[in-house]
Structure 1
């Protein structure tokens, strides 16, 4: 009896949490018009999240670059006056209630809004910016939806954008009738500038992924006395500049990436010259070169612990080798994930699209 009541209570709590999460993911209301007057404009919807979020940072960068290219673009938030302040920006921002979108305009919606996409009114052309393809079907019930959900039946559905080759392939396989295009991520070389070596005994990680595995790993490392003399820093709630400063200071960065759209933290740590150990998170395989870092098979806690122990031993016994590998990773990231590359991707996608408005 007690177990049954406990199970019912747990189910009720979970149901309420799910309902609250779905409510958060509803697309805010905006006006539409049939008029085609004026220059086509691109609106990137973004959640009103005051906390650091790599995905929202990418949205702001897209809008900045589009305006630099002469393409009018805005970040569209729900609440009037909201803008992200955890990084410096002068990005054009508009409240949803103050925006009017016509058939020549483009509405770009993150995959995070999946449960609310069906409520988007007909009018603008729709692009889904899917930065986490492995979360595409979160809160999308299989039994209550049609084939191709959540994208196939949306009015104005035009294309999907993704930020890694891994995610492009997954989305292309899942939605063979919808074009999928790559828009490369950018690791800002001015913010995530390479730091020098030698570095002190400092290990850092970003704390919002795989919390249980992370704690188990730290227990194992401490039990084996691997962490003796090392400072361990959890990066959370920091600005871009503060995060980069920690990454430039640490010798070793632990990656807990999990089914990522790209995996920005380890890429940023590499750019800063830290030696990265850990999970590539599937999409990160495109930059986790084993010649420059220590990728670990997904979920292999023992391999992770051994790789960290080896990295700490290398720091003590052959630091020049560790420094050389970290430096090569930094150069590779800074050469590959550039503003120039993203500008080329945005131009290739938006110029033809807007020309047919």
Structure 2
């Protein structure tokens, strides 16, 4: 049986991309496929999510077989793909903005022995075919884990500042300056925590400031919608797939003044128990409900069944 080897970065911080890799491997093994996560260093295992996915190590030397399938992130050094006869390679595209990070020459995409790609969103699927020439790209949708759900709410503004820490601080300070009567509202930064902890914090937060930037999809925004937060902020381009006027107070990308104004509107709506806030929150929950683990499993299994039968 062919092994499906998902390469993953050894990261010291929480990573949605690595978390999704572990999910893919677990789902494929559930369907009887011989799938593994591959990290660089022996003994490393991603510590920020519970998973039963088995892990192999690249170092000191992972013996590749001719019928193996290597699944590599878009920012892997793709010019250094192993030269093993019969080895098949698939790009796992979770970010369009990192497509050149692992290459010495951006035009190397034209020379790479790769035509297949797993794409986490419709935007990435279009990007893979239109820009990277990956003619056999397939949509492998991301999913919101069931642990992201509404809980008893506190009037607090949650955000995940990792992508835009300076902008997060600027919005916070401008919010307090422009809305002096709302300075009592706590500001909660969610960073460096496990998936379970993030779900608990989002679930209890009434508001979420979305700080998406150069996103392939923007899973935090979806997770906040699923958690019953009133969401405002930036969808980061990839979030256009789910960000709509009926499910959040979305702003133009990095339009900080408008974001500060809308954040004040959002707090005011919640304090007055404005029915428009409740309608947005319910619409957000319905939007996120389309990104189910069941859909992810069904479509991912169909992709691999098709590819393995073709080979």
Query: What TM-score do the two structures reach when normalised by structure 2?
Result: 0.93
**Secondary structure, aligned partner of 1:245:** helix
Which of 174, 179, 187 is the aligned partner of 2:131? 174
1:325 aligns with 2:286: no
Q: Which residue of 2 aligns with 1:238?
A: 193
Shift of 1:195: 2.3
Tell me the residue number matched to 1:122: 83
Per the alignment, residue 309 of structure 1 pairs with 264
The Cα shift of 1:226 comes to: 5.4
Alignment partner, residue 253 of structure 2: 298
Q: 2:63 maps to what in 1?
A: 100
Contact 1:226 1:309 in 2 (8 A): no
Partner of 2:52: 90
Q: Distance in 1 between matches of 2:98 and 2:167?
A: 20
Corresponding residue of 1:192:
148
Q: Is the 8 A contact 2:71 2:89 kept in 1?
A: yes
Residue 137 (structure 1) aligned with residue 100 (structure 2): yes
Q: 1:273 aligns with which of 228, 237, 249?
A: 228
**The one of 286, 290, 293 aligned to 1:339:** 293
Among residues 217, 221, 230, which one is paired with 1:262 in the alignment?
Answer: 217
Q: Structure 2: which 5+ runs fail to align?
A: none
Q: How far does the alpha carbon of each residue in 1:65-113 deviate from its partner, in whole angstroms, 9 at most, with x for none?
A: 0001111100001111111122111211111246322232110001121
Deviation at 1:183, TM superposition (A): 0.6
Q: Distance in 2 between matches of 1:136 and 1:48?
A: 19
Work out whether residues 50 and 86 of structure 1, in 8 Å CA contact, stay in contact via their aligned partners in 2. no
2:14 pairs, out of 52, 60, 66, with 52
TM-score (norm 1): 0.82
Q: Distance in 2 between matches of 1:57 and 1:331?
A: 24
Within 2, Cα distance between the matches of 1:110 and 1:72? 19
Deviates most, 301-310 or 222-231: 222-231
Cα distance in 2 for residues equivalent to 1:177 and 1:152: 9
Aligned pair in 2 of structure 1 residues 229, 301: CA closer, same or farther (>3 Å)?
same
Match in the other structure for 1:354: 308
Determine if contact 1:226/1:312 at 8 Å carries over to the other structure: no
Give the Cα separation in 2 of the matches to 1:125 and 1:226: 60
CA shift digits 1:37-82 (9 cap, x unpaired): xx11100000111321100000000000000111110000111111
Pairing partner for 2:159 from 186, 205, 217 = 205
Larger CA Rg, structure 1 vs 2:
1
Provide the aligned C-alpha RMSD in A.
1.7
Gaps (5+ residues) in structure 1? 1-38
Following the alignment from structure 2 to structure 1, what is the Cα–Cα distance between the partners of residues 251 and 206? 18
The count of residues paired between Structure 1 and Structure 2 equals 307
Deviations 1:298-354 (A, max 9, x none): 1211211111011011012234432332122113202x1112211222122211221
Q: Is the 8 A contact 2:14 2:194 kept in 1?
A: yes
Distance 2:81 2:98 in 1: 20
